[in-house]
Structure 1
Amino acid sequence: MPVWAESLLLLVLAVTLALIVKTFLVQAFFIPSGSMEPGLVKNDRILVQKVSYWGSGTPQRGDVVVFDDPGDWLTPAEDTAPSNLLSKALSRIGLLPSGGHLVKRVIGVAGDTITCCDAQGRIKVDGVPLDSSDFIKDSGACQAPMIGCSWKAGPVPPGHVFVLGDHRDDSADSSYHLCRGSTPGCDPDDAYVPVSLITGKVFALVWPADRFRWERRPSVFADLDAAIKAREEDTTP
């Protein structure tokens, strides 16, 4: 086989492999804002795995997920994409991090009711307090988002999740999109993210290299899951 033909074949195989990996397994993204500080900083490069959500797999409380804009969630600064043709092409096949997405942490899943806040400033999920102090940026009066310390959301509709940014004072997340008071034309469902829009779960911070780490679900969410399950069993006839 001539050198040019062999080179072309290898290029086609590389692009095909990259597309398969991006579509079904792993995809690279960059953090578009400071809404996930302190753990993830603007312009960090992350890897998202899709295997966990194959088939009947669904997001769990505590997962950091990447998802498409449910509708007017992205700010102009966050809604960025590669500007030149080469970068666009490489991004489409998974060889460059993608833009135009959101990154948040799942707090509530279908059926959950989320309230803010208890006497210690903690968000409650189905009545169980969630101590977020180990992974959120200090938010002052309570471990609450930028809309304040008194609100309620849910029950989360089937096939949806309720998400918050770890930088609670600077994250236009599910709480920010809640209908408050008599807001004209507000759609209550806008506060929840359809699971069908979720690309996958963040599993690694890969750049900058000196901050490389595996992304793990905080252990406090396992305690939360157990407490909610115990409450459900206690109320079951």
Structure 2
Amino acid sequence: MDTENTRTERDRSSEPDRPDPVPAAEPGTAGTTEERARSGRFPGLSRVSGLLGGSWRRSALLAVVCLGAVLLVSRFVVQPFHIPSGSMEPTLRTGDRVLVNKLAYGPDEEPERGDLIVFDGTGSFVREAAESNPVQEAVRGAFAAVGLAEPAETDFVKRVIGVGGDRVVCCDEEGRITVNGVALDERYLHPGDAPSDVAFDIVVRPGTLWVMGDHRSDSRDSRDHLGAPGGGMVPLEKVIGRADWIGWPAGRWGSLERTDAFARVPDAPEGSAPDAPGSWTGGGPGPSGAPAGSGAPFPGGGGAAGGRPHG
């Protein structure tokens, strides 16, 4: 018997399973063939790589969407502001982060006496904005929008004392500020502070606000700009929003209470506001001896605000 012939011609189906040979790679496809072979040996590797890659992409996309949402909310709804000075103590302290409600005011809702407002002081407290690198300003603005950087040097936070038409006077016989003839009980003032060490008697122009800090002895506010263009008045269009909440530090979380110091103040008579900014009433010399409208600063006043914002 030809045993050799029998071995070579026996039924192939009876032989053990053998892996099919890997086909030769076509020119230019060596890397693809190798990857396919490697994935065949480690089938979980390609699955894990796909999941990780997709996860990173999804995370990056989610981060971009979240950042965009935060910036949109900060731009149009609520923006955190960092308080860098003590001009509003004890109501606001250095290092506080307040949440400013940008929807508080509109065509039918204007700031009221006693409101804490954040505003752009360009043209009233600051004569002109300092030049800056556009890229650096954009980065700083993005960080400031989420409360991680100090606000612009032209941004201030103060309390509204007088609105358009109001006559604001310092001071009566008991040393109190009066608005439309009614003395204010300013319990929000810093302990030991007088209502004002600067005498003034002004009527607020329509469309503007007279503002002061709660820490009167450490606040550069409308009093310091009586002799400047605008007379220390803040135009309504420069108001960014109302400070309604303290968001940081955690121990000071909460809403900022409204004051009742202006509850008895009557509205100003129609047509009582002058056209000239920061005009004195009575037609005679101002409290400093300067003639009304002369532009001369009051004692303790000055030109453009110095120091840090909110000061």
TM range (shorter): 0.7 to 0.9
Identity %: 39
The amino acid that maps onto 2:238 is L
Structure 1 residues 209-218 or 18-27, which shifts more? 209-218
Structure-to-structure mapping, 1:78-157, within 5 angstroms: 88=140, 90-91=142-143, 93-94=145-146, 96-100=148-152, 101-132=155-186, 134-140=187-193, 142-144=194-196, 146=197, 148=198, 150-154=199-203, 156-157=204-205
* 8 A contact 2:113–2:163 mirrored in 1: yes
How far off its partner does 1:232 sit? 5.1
Q: Distance in 2 between matches of 1:49 and 1:97?
A: 18
Aligned Cα root-mean-square deviation (Å):
2.6
Q: Which runs of 4+ in 1 moved over 6 A?
A: 84-87
| Pair 1:18-2:70 in alignment | yes
Equivalent residue pairs, number: 207
**1:27/1:120 CA distance change after superposition, 3 Å:** same
Tell me what 2:277 maps to.
none
Tell me what 2:219 maps to.
171
Q: Distance in 1 between matches of 2:61 and 2:164?
A: 47
* 8 A contact 1:65–1:199 mirrored in 2: yes
* 8 A contact 1:139–1:168 mirrored in 2: no
TM-score by length of 2: 0.60
Larger-Rg structure: 2
Q: Which runs of 5+ in 1 are unaligned?
A: 75-83, 180-185
2:104 counterpart SS class: helix
How far off its partner does 1:208 sit? 2.0
1:175 counterpart SS class: helix
The amino acid that maps onto 2:191 is D
Q: Distance in 2 between matches of 1:216 and 1:14?
A: 31
Q: Distance in 2 between matches of 1:86 and 1:67?
A: 19
| Pair 1:195-2:236 in alignment | yes
Q: Distance in 1 between matches of 2:145 and 2:90?
A: 30
| Pair 1:214-2:255 in alignment | yes
Structure with the bigger RCO (C-alpha within 8 Å, sep 6+) is: 1
Q: Which runs of 5+ in 2 are unaligned?
A: 1-50, 127-135, 271-311
2:247 counterpart SS class: strand
Structure 1 residues 86-95 or 15-24, which shifts more? 86-95
* 8 A contact 2:140–2:149 mirrored in 1: no
2:218 counterpart SS class: coil
* 8 A contact 1:66–1:103 mirrored in 2: yes
Identify, as 1 or 2, the structure richer in strand: 1
The amino acid that maps onto 2:95 is N
TM-score by length of 1: 0.78
Please, which of 30, 34, 37 is the counterpart of residue 89 of structure 2? 37
* 8 A contact 2:71–2:142 mirrored in 1: no
How far off its partner does 1:6 sit? 1.6
